[in-house]
Amino acid sequence: MTGIGPLEPGEGTWAREPAEARPAPRPWRRRTLLIPATACAVLAAGAALWITRPRPAPPPELPFPAQTVTVTFLVGRSTAPHRLAFDVRLAVEPGPPLTVTRVSQPYAGMSAESEPRAPFRTAAGSSRVITVTMRVTECGRVPKNAALPFLEVTLRNARAIQTQSFILGPRYTRYLSRALGEACGESTPSSPKHPRRLNS
């Protein structure tokens, strides 16, 4: 082996195969890469769209009954020994219908009832006049000079039952003070008429 012959190829002596000599990638192979990528992108987009999809707003919560009612003192009707009557307006805001289950007052020495007699329903978005009659059972224990007298009204709607104190303001305060004085014989009754019989 002394003659010059072709060199045996050693490590790194292989010539690079020309690029054009490589077999061209077949179209199906590119597609196999593209399909999973596309699927991922579509899934991601779908997920994003699903997460951010417009959702129907939850139905509004029903309000508690006391938040839907206004009670306003209107006018005194009559007084008689141990008895007085006055009108209030009960207004109910639009929304769920409301039932008045009780009308009462917090003072010892007297009791209250209403016409219409409780329980009664008042349609939402409407108002009605209620006549409250108070009977004095013990003149020595009535609030003839209360600073902020109130009526207690128990209300019910589809959401809850609540007893709310309705503070009827200075006109009611003055009226109650005068009427209780009259009902307890401390001054002449303002009206000679006999009171209507209510709820009895």
Partner 1 sequence: MRQRSLIAITAALSAGALTLTACGSRDSGDNGSDAKGGTTVTIGIDAPLTGDLSALGLGIKNSVDLAVKNANKKEYVKGVTFKVEAKDDQGQPSSGQQNSTAFVTDKSVLGVVGPLNSSVAESMQKVLDDAKLAQVSPANTGPGLTQGPDWQKKKVRQYKSYFRTATTDAIQGPYAAEYVFNKAKKKKVFVIDDKKTYGAGLAATFTDAFKKLGGKVVGTEHINPDTKDFSAVATKVKNSGADVVYYGGEYPQAGPLTKQIKAAGAKVPLVGGDGIKDDTFFKLGGPAATGDYATSVGAPVETLPSAKQFVADYKAAGYKEAYAAYGGYSYDSAWSIIEAIKKVVDDNDGKVPSDARAKVTAALQNVSFDGVTGKVSFDEYGDATNKQLTVYSVKDGAWKAVESGTYNGS
Residues forming contacts to partner 1 in the complex (CB under 8 A) are 31, 34, 37-38, 41-42, 44-49, 52, 60-64, 66-67, 70-73, 106-108, 141, 143, 145-150, 160, 162-171
Query: Residue 92: how many CB atoms within 10 A of its CB?
Result: 23
Q: Least distance to partner 1 from the beta carbon of 167, Å?
A: 4
Nearer to partner 1, 75 or 148 (CB): 148
Q: Least distance to partner 1 from the beta carbon of 161, Å?
A: 12
Nearer to partner 1, 44 or 123 (CB): 44
Question: At 98, phi and psi to the nearest 5?
Answer: -130, 140
Paired with 134 in beta bridges are 84, 112
For residue 118, give both structure tokens: 């409780």
d(CA 150, CA 81): 22
Nearer to partner 1, 180 or 189 (CB): 180
Query: Which residue in 82, 134, 137 sits closest to 113, CA to CA?
Result: 134
Nearer to partner 1, 99 or 162 (CB): 162
d(CA 130, CA 100): 11
Q: Least distance to partner 1 from the beta carbon of 4, Å?
A: 55
Q: Least distance to partner 1 from the beta carbon of 41, Å?
A: 5
User: Within 13 Å and on the Cβ side, how many CA atoms surround 176?
Assistant: 29
Nearer to partner 1, 165 or 191 (CB): 165
Q: Least distance to partner 1 from the beta carbon of 106, Å?
A: 4
Nearer to partner 1, 19 or 37 (CB): 37
d(CA 107, CA 67): 24
Query: What residue has token string 């490590």?
Result: 11
Q: Least distance to partner 1 from the beta carbon of 149, Å?
A: 8
Q: Find the DSSP H helices in the chain.
A: 27-51, 169-183
